[in-house]
Structure 1
């Protein structure tokens, strides 16, 4: 089943990193909400910050929300 949201944050891996995928492309591995905001900025959403990441309905969190990193 495909996600209806364009950004997916995958569950943490064994190192605590979470893959970040936007519209089918992997943007990178994040170890914090700040990392996700940086990846989103690099993808063209320059105005995004940590609060945008936490509050956005565009993001689907898998394996726990923005407070789960292990």
Structure 2
């Protein structure tokens, strides 16, 4: 019997290679609400580890939410 953790799963139209999920966490690595090379490297290294799904952590909805070390979802830049 194979471990179901490593079995693929389909959620609606989304195919996920395994059932390993990395939950969101606040990293405090953004600069002025912008994604940095440090954040990109952090998620790239985890993606190579093999989770089927990764959820990015906290993102602000305006400049008053959180602080400048959060990813800003309130601005397209």
TM-score in terms of structure 2 length = 0.29
Q: Which has the larger radius of gyration?
A: 2
- State the TM-score, normalized to the length of structure 1: 0.30
- Higher RCO, Cα 8 Å, sep 6+: 1
